Chain A
Amino acid sequence: MGKLVAVTLALITIASAIPIVAHIWVPPADISTHGHLIDEQMSDTMAEAGVCFIAAQLILAAFIWMFSNRKPGDKIKNFPGGAKGLVTAAFLLVGTEVLALGFFGTKAWADVFLIPASANSMPVQVQAGQFAFYFRYPGADGKFGPIHPDKINEANQNIFGLDVDNDPDSKDDIVTAEMGVPMNKEIHLLMHAKDVGHSFYVRELRIQQDFVPGLDLSLHFTATKVGRYEIVCTQLCGLGHYNMKAYLNVMSQPDYDDWLKKQASMQ
């Protein structure tokens, strides 16, 4: 029975590793300027995790094979080096590995969250509410009109609670159901939660950030490839959570300008 356990464990280990090595299920191609750092970090971690996983499981399997149901005369042996060697190995190898991973991953994190959006980034506001994302562009004046929560009324299509009559900055604001951005332009995404917690996640952009009601949070990113990408909600927000999504359209600058004009004409 011990040998069967060992063989089964070895087979499970190899079977588990195959999809990883064969890159069957992987993140989609990165379309951001910062994403390659995250991808490198993931690859490094996968390599180290893979070695640890395979080694630990196969050694466990090997020892189960070797030492199960031995003959009565066999003596008990100590692992070479005993506990001291193993504890030292744990501290040195694992300690160094995890601290290195932690240290080298800080740049990727800092690029997304610790470095502010640059001064010439393009602001776009996103509002998350049960169960849709809506976007707002500041228009020609470059300013967002204030949000009046008491005026938010989805039934009347006043998503952001704008008072166009009394707030001049709101007059040229453009509200859209899809997000459009020009390629290779840094975007400063201003996040507003209407009701409960939500989250903004675009796999290809390698960004994710929760919306927190009551907090002004923001993200910045630069998309490097034209295409249509899904923005999905990753923070449980109610019964429509599974269906809460929008599209991010990354376009060339001329195409983006056309798109924005068209959106403005539909206000």
Chain B
Amino acid sequence: MHDVSAHFAHHTPPQGFIRKYIFSVDHKVIGKQYYGLGLFAVVVGMALSWLMRIHLVWPNFAIPGLTWISSAGAPGGIITPEYYLQLMTMHGTLMVFFVLTNVPFAGFGNYFLPIQIGADDMAFPRFNMASFWVTFVGFCVLFAAFFVGDGPPLSGWTAYAPLSAMPGTGPGQAMGQTLWAISIAIFCIGQLLGSLNFITTTLDLRAKGMTLMRMPLCTWAWFITSCIGLLAFAVLLPACILLILDRVAGTSFFVPSNLVVSDQLVNHSGGSPLLWQHLFWFFGHPEVYIAILPAVGIVSHILVNSYRRPLLSHKAVIYCLMAIGFLSFMVWGHHMFVSGMNPFSALVFSFPTLVITIPFTVLTLIWIGSLYGSNLQINSASLFALGFISMLVTGGISGFFLAQPSIDIYLHGTYFVVGHFHMVMGVAAIFGMFAGTYYWAPKMFGRMMNDTLGKIHFWGTFVGTYCIFMPFHYLGLAGNVRRYSAFVDDYLAPLIPVHKFISIAALCTGAVQLIFLCNLIYSRFKGAPAPVNPWNGTSLEWTVPSPPPWDNFGGRHPVVYHDPYQYGIEGSSGDYVMQDSPEQIPTVREDKDLM
């Protein structure tokens, strides 16, 4: 462990509004800025999904106000086929990058990682500030795509070449696609800065007694996520640069010769569309674990607090996180089974894809097994944490099908895939974010959120998301192709009633989210004052005031004496012992065989 006192000898309290709230080097402010950006992005992303779902089942419904945003894309409020795809592309891009990567990792991680390890701040506070503002610039560049030329790109968040590499292939594929590629490249830089910070901070700034194994599980998840991010974003960044070069500098990394667009021969040669797919998915698969692992850590952290007992094995969870991180780099080809790559390699990629089921199963069994015999406390946070388990199980099991190349022949490109990734990555991660918000809002804002509203929010979201995304799997089994702006094929007509059900469920579930937004905003200003430790938690964030001062621990250096989850024992505070409590009382014996 390093002597951190010298590190922050120059660290002084911020002065002035700009330094305190705008260009702040305080990891807590930066965490809230990431959270706020993610909140804005999720509202926009969700609104885009409503537009998509409305268009699919009520295509002639004139959406009020939409023509003002894009008169070409929605003349008279009616969405054109290309605009549907453009909205879809922005929905995916905003959600995956600016929500799922931002909030659980950069948002909560920035706020709580330093506190949980007993540090005053991140290792590189100025890098940290830069990482947020770089991300913010990336967001602005992306958002600008809505308002330029013929609008945002229509090639999906996956931006396959040569569709994405040639400006003439459709509306939005000129300026919109270029802005998209620039935005994502900028986003990569922000993430790389953030990952460097997380890794260095975790390894170097832990307080005395805070061994790696004594770190809370969310800290472990943020640490492993940042390792994955460092390697994955380091590949996406050059991929985006190559794409930009193909688009504006006449290179042909991704475009072969002899292509004909609109009866004109395209002036490119030598490139490989599959190269884009390999580069993108080499990033893209680890990215989905970047999206879910922080939620896994946050949910584990909240569950153990709600169970009032340690997990059956703390170390098994950590080893699973490591295994998932490692395996995540081996499976990218499962997105490309029918892509035209060597079909033998499909069998090779299938193997680790199936094997990655094992650590996820271990995690699920540990969560459920630890619930057995526990003293489960029900509150908004624990409800969403339990809901997370259910969503991860559902979403993960649909992966059994897609992991097998033979079955993927039928299910690839159908709504089955869309149902799978929405449940396992989208909904599960959102549940993790909600759980984290209800759990940590008291610490972040010094005010309690309304628990009754939180429970209503849970009910509407839990039932609602199942109503939306379970039918996606049935549509996929029937062969309903994805990314269609309308259902004109003969075999799709009987499936439209299912789509109507989904659209209605989506709008209702969306409306329920207003309860959360109102609760969050109202509580921020008028909620009941939060105590230091409202949930009787054991980790270090519950030893500092709500909200914490600018240097977290008020100048003191915490010393850690215990494992992070000493619940279910007779402590002087109740059925738990804080990590920094010098009380030498027998702690709960964890499964020694796995310790």
What is the chain A residue whose CB lies nearest that of B488? Answer: A243
What is the chain B residue whose CB lies nearest that of A95? Answer: B358
Q: Given contacts A12-B463, A26-B477, A42-B401, are A239 and B170 in contact (CB under 8 A)?
A: yes
Q: Given contacts A25-B474, A67-B375, A84-B591, are A79 and B85 in contact (CB under 8 A)?
A: no
- A199 partner residues in chain B, CB cutoff 8 A: 338, 413
Quick check: is A24 within 8 A (CB to CB) of the other chain? yes
**Segment of B216-224, B233-241, B251-259, B288-296 in the binding face:** B251-259
- A139 partner residues in chain B, CB cutoff 8 A: none
- A177 partner residues in chain B, CB cutoff 8 A: none
Asked if residues B273 and A45 are in contact (CB atoms below 8 Å), the reply is no
- A70 partner residues in chain B, CB cutoff 8 A: 375-376
Asked if residues A149 and B260 are in contact (CB atoms below 8 Å), the reply is yes
What is the chain A residue whose CB lies nearest that of B490? Answer: A230
Chain B interface residue count: which class?
35 or more
Quick check: is A164 within 8 A (CB to CB) of the other chain? no
Asked if residues A155 and B263 are in contact (CB atoms below 8 Å), the reply is yes
Count of interface residues, chain A, beta-carbon cutoff 8 Å: 103
Asked if residues A90 and B273 are in contact (CB atoms below 8 Å), the reply is no
Asked if residues B372 and A67 are in contact (CB atoms below 8 Å), the reply is yes
Asked if residues A87 and B316 are in contact (CB atoms below 8 Å), the reply is yes
Quick check: is B213 within 8 A (CB to CB) of the other chain? no
**Segment of A55-63, A118-126, A165-173, A257-265 in the binding face:** A55-63
What is the chain A residue whose CB lies nearest that of B276? Answer: A197
Contact with B along A44-83 (1 / 0, CB 8 A): 0110110011001101100110111110001111110011
Contact with B along A20-47 (1 / 0, CB 8 A): 1000111110000000011001100110
- A24 partner residues in chain B, CB cutoff 8 A: 474
What is the chain B residue whose CB lies nearest that of A192? Answer: B258
Asked if residues A64 and B371 are in contact (CB atoms below 8 Å), the reply is yes
Contact with B along A228-246 (1 / 0, CB 8 A): 0010111111111111010
Asked if residues A90 and B406 are in contact (CB atoms below 8 Å), the reply is no
Asked if residues A86 and B481 are in contact (CB atoms below 8 Å), the reply is no
A42 to B378, CA, bound (A): 39
Asked if residues A243 and B474 are in contact (CB atoms below 8 Å), the reply is no
Quick check: is B558 within 8 A (CB to CB) of the other chain? no
Q: Given contacts A87-B313, A236-B85, A236-B156, are A197 and B346 in contact (CB under 8 A)?
A: no
B residues with a Cβ closer than 8 A to A are: 80-82, 85, 154-156, 160-163, 166, 169-171, 255-261, 263, 265-266, 271-274, 308-309, 311-313, 316, 338-340, 343-344, 346-347, 350-351, 354-355, 357-358, 361-362, 364-366, 368-378, 383, 386, 389-390, 393-394, 397-398, 400-401, 403-407, 409-410, 412-414, 455, 459, 462-463, 466, 470, 474-475, 477-479, 481-491, 495, 498, 568, 588, 591, 593-594
> What are 16 pairs between A and B in contact, CB < 8 Å?
A8-B459, A16-B466, A25-B474, A25-B495, A42-B407, A49-B401, A78-B312, A87-B316, A101-B404, A102-B354, A108-B406, A109-B406, A196-B169, A210-B339, A238-B85, A242-B485
